[in-house]
Amino acid sequence: MRNYEDKIISGKIISQQIKDEVKEEVASLKEKGLYSHLAVVLLGDDPSSQVYVRNKELGCEYCGIESTVIRQSKDITEKELLQIVKGLNKDKKVHGILVQMPMPEHISKEKVILAIDPMKDVDGFHPYNVGQLLYGSSDVLLPCTPSGIMELLDRSDIAIAGKNVVVVGRSNIVGKPVFHMLLERNATVTICHSKTKDLVGVTKQADILVVAIGKANMITGEHVKEGAVVIDVGVNRVNDKLYGDVEFETVAPLASRITPVPGGVGPMTIAMLMKNTVKAALNSEK
């Protein structure tokens, strides 16, 4: 059976390139006495969150970025959590702050995001950074998964300007920010969601199709135009196996390029977090 290797956009390879670049930058900054430090707050013992945080620690270790994980019970009060965030905001030795999602239900995610100093908001979720993204600024901290998608396209020499791009999914962490990034790069962008009528009719127009729905194999060959570039953000665990939102078997034969799951967008998120942490450290020197 054909594996479509020639069509694969490998997030594994591209994220490694980015981490190597960050590692080099961190080493040269250290020679000038500049350090980068990421603080991650982890609430409770959710297994997936533990794995995500461990991978962030490993990413920091690889790049030479200092990291601190602050572990707290999931029963922590909102006030106590906000105090921790305030402390990290004030700590000059900490450049990036991330509170691992999902948060316990009694804590307002919005309040926590608002409490993080936008200059240390390496997740790029603070309304200040979101607003700057809407204004077209690339100088601020931008969310990691959407930035990773842009890197995948750029480093695969996929032209964006003038292309019809369809984004399926309008979440604050993927769909909406990547919509704005693509628009800023002069694509003609359409965004779809669960109320979109005739999804197939819209996605079939896409030269570049970005899918972030959270439903295993939802996008199939019937949704895709021949020659389209397909970026699958989905990570869906079904019976202990990972699936994307795109049905690889029916879409890969049609696509000109496609990201696999796993090994596509997933590894890019951590690489971009590393990049953001160094950016935050450099900004703190300005």
Q: What are phi and psi of 274, to 5 degrees?
A: -65, -45
Task: Pick between residue 76 and residue 177 the one whose CB is nearest to ligand NDP.
Answer: 177
* Interacting residue with ligand NDP among 170, 204, 250, 283 (CB under 6 A): 170
To the nearest whole angstrom, how small is the minimum distance from the Cβ of residue 85 to ligand NDP?
Answer: 22
To the nearest whole angstrom, how small is the minimum distance from the Cβ of residue 10 to ligand NDP?
Answer: 14
The answer to the question of residue 236 lying near ligand NDP (CB under 6 A) is: yes
Which range, of 14-22, 155-163, 165-173, 179-187, touches ligand NDP by CB under 6 A? 165-173
* Interacting residue with ligand NDP among 60, 149, 173, 210 (CB under 6 A): 173
The answer to the question of residue 193 lying near ligand NDP (CB under 6 A) is: yes
The answer to the question of residue 213 lying near ligand NDP (CB under 6 A) is: yes
Which neighbouring-strand residues pair with 39?
68, 97
Q: Return the closest-CA partner of residue 271 out of 59, 54, 4, 57.
A: 59
Which positions are annotated as active-site residues? 56, 100, 123
The span from the CA of 122 to the CA of 198, in Å, is 37
The answer to the question of residue 190 lying near ligand NDP (CB under 6 A) is: no
The answer to the question of residue 153 lying near ligand NDP (CB under 6 A) is: no
The span from the CA of 237 to the CA of 250, in Å, is 20
To the nearest whole angstrom, how small is the minimum distance from the Cβ of residue 62 to ligand NDP?
Answer: 17
The span from the CA of 245 to the CA of 233, in Å, is 7
Contact residues: ligand NDP, CB under 6 A = 145, 168-171, 173-175, 192-196, 199, 212-215, 233-236, 265-266, 269
